[in-house]
Chains A and B, each alone.
Chain A
């Protein structure tokens, strides 16, 4: 399958790579002794490495194209993966969910508290992704400022705890509702915007919140942040640090389950259908009697609600927050969870969140190259599986109308 032409192309690519990386990989200037070190061996490594990688890349691309061609010929049923076929049958699906739940429950007993901590973070991103999925995946409103609501939740807990000594459980609904309120506040000015324009305004909104938190020292203590935030209480019992970590982990598992349940219901409701219709065609949607304003605001505020709740959990988990936790990078990660998750399918989004959050943690072995590896993996995902890790079985749900005569 490797023709001479292919090999020639890869050879050219590898030469180009050598040229590109020459200054950083080969030349090393020792500024103290004022000498230049030439590491010629690196040229060989890069030459061989990029040659092999480019061949592999093109091979997979070729295979993918051939496969999708075959899928079209055979109809859509046969091309499905094993996981796909398992998820369709309710019995297997419930079994998979059961196994996942079991694994989640025993996880803290099998691993260290470091692992539990990472997993808690990953679960937080699952919920954030599910929340943003309402706005981006269902209602089709590209929101780049989602992290602002997360910040609102976190700061409302931190400040209420700092000033008034309010506990986690008291602030949880307050934080969520405050974030939802901010969602509506953001929603009003952007009602008429779509696509790129909406993205830019929401991006600006996210930055505004962060900059206010950074600069309004009297209110938020600025960049130094707020520390000593109480951990969540457990019926008034003081928990040791390790116990607290496990406790928050279980809380997050619970939150994830509740969120999946509620988001599922939202999706299958009258409101969920209205969101999808809004995404598909705004004018037709209005002409069919859907109140655009109400529907959009509902999407923004419900999405923000989850961000706010997770913000509260975040503040309680780390016991310290500052504006640096709520940068655009954070928003971009949440958005990539939704996008890579295939826009709209819940199970896929969960897997994606876990991969995206856990991967950088476990890639720590690669030390300074881990973000590079992370980026490479993202690029590969977009090239090879643009529909998400598991493409949604069916973006929309179907109904089997019952027959009146039988009743």
Chain B
């Protein structure tokens, strides 16, 4: 069994009187594709927002294991940019690209937290800054090639077709060299053909050893992709396990399809 890279302990998030997340425990192991599923309003996106620092959770802890240093870092209460710096990169359910920037520039933004040049570097553009710029461009270019968008490189992000925008979001997140990639409903609104392409892409990324945690509605996609699945309902985890276990789990069936009425 491979090492755990992300541990979530008893994560709770209250919005006033509404408990959106209720003592949620979750862990992701290195190199696996984990999935978080649940009916609408189960708290999946809230969970992502807590993880990435957009919300401050009421209770609980989020620990990221850095394999390079062997340390556990608590991500709770950190600013979103710090979370990304530590190695959690995400995409958004409703696409949030930078529409008036080119595709390449969008990915280059992802390199931001791994580079350093600031005002002085911008003014004088010394050898180190120039090398850094070249590296940013090259790396971004390679990532775009990987997700199959290099021919759109100099187009504005807003002019891309929908499926390509989704993939660009993934590319941008990959550019931050994440320890764990968080995908928030990557297949939302895609047609069957685009979905197949996306599955292939996610599998390719995972084959490179990238750990992935994804939220998804599309059951078929989740079942075919994931190594392990967590099921949520009303902010609580109701099941966890391998896809075939989840498929037969009565609690999951109940949450998704409702209870059978005894005649």
Contact = CB atoms under 8 A, between A and B. Distances in A.
A407 B104 CA distance: 22
B100 A280 contact: yes
Nearest to B88: A287
Contact of B101 (A269, A277, A289): A277
23 contacts: A269-B117, A270-B112, A270-B118, A270-B122, A270-B132, A273-B101, A273-B112, A276-B100, A276-B101, A277-B101, A280-B99, A281-B96, A281-B97, A283-B54, A283-B80, A285-B98, A285-B109, A287-B90, A291-B79, A292-B81, A298-B119, A398-B104, A401-B140
B194 interface: no
Contact of B84 (A271, A289, A302, A395): A289
Contact of B113 (A288, A401, A402): A288
Contact of B109 (A269, A277, A401): A277
Which of A265, A285, A287, A292 has the most chain B CB within a 10 Å cutoff?
A287
Contacts of A266: 119, 122-123
Interface in B157-194: 172-173, 176
B38 interface: no
Interface of B: 52, 54, 79-81, 84-85, 89-90, 92, 96-102, 104-105, 108-110, 112-115, 117-119, 121-123, 125, 129, 132-134, 136-138, 140-141, 153-154, 156, 172-173, 176
- SS of B interface (majority): helix
- SS of A interface (majority): helix
Interface string A273-310: 11011001101111111111000001000100000000
A271 B116 CA distance: 9
A274 B90 contact: no
Contacts of A292: 79, 81
Nearest to B52: A287
A262 interface: yes
Given A281-B96, A289-B84, 7 more contacts: A271-B119, A273-B109, A274-B109, A288-B172, A302-B119, A396-B100, A396-B101
Which of B85, B102, B129, B134 has the most chain A CB within a 10 Å cutoff?
B102
A165 to B, nearest CB: 31
Interface in A211-226: none
Given A270-B117, A398-B102, A287 B122 contact: no
A66 interface: no
Contacts of B113: 288-290
B144 to A, nearest CB: 9
Given A269-B121, A270-B121, A286 B105 contact: no
Interface in A155-187: none
Interface residues of A, number: 32
A273 B105 contact: yes
Which 4 pairs, one residue from A and one from B, show the smallest C-beta to C-beta distance? A289-B113, A269-B122, A289-B84, A280-B98
A298 B176 contact: no
Contacts of B89: 287-289
B178 to A, nearest CB: 10
A399 interface: yes
A395 B100 contact: yes
A318 B105 CA distance: 44
Which of B79, B118, B134 has the most chain A CB within a 10 Å cutoff?
B118
B154 A398 contact: yes
A101 B84 CA distance: 46
A284 B49 CA distance: 12
Contact of A271 (B90, B108, B117): B117
Nearest to B155: A398
Which of A277, A290, A292 has the most chain B CB within a 10 Å cutoff?
A277
Which of A288, A395, A396, A404 has the most chain B CB within a 10 Å cutoff?
A288
Which of B100, B113, B153, B176 has the most chain A CB within a 10 Å cutoff?
B100
A378 B90 CA distance: 45
Contacts of A273: 101, 105, 108-109, 112
Contacts of B173: 288
B260 to A, nearest CB: 42
B112 A274 contact: yes
Which of A284, A292, A404 has the most chain B CB within a 10 Å cutoff?
A284
A190 B101 CA distance: 25
Nearest to A282: B96
B118 A271 contact: yes
Nearest to B140: A401
A311 interface: no
Given A273-B109, A274-B109, A289-B84, A401 B101 contact: no
Contacts of A232: none
A342 interface: no
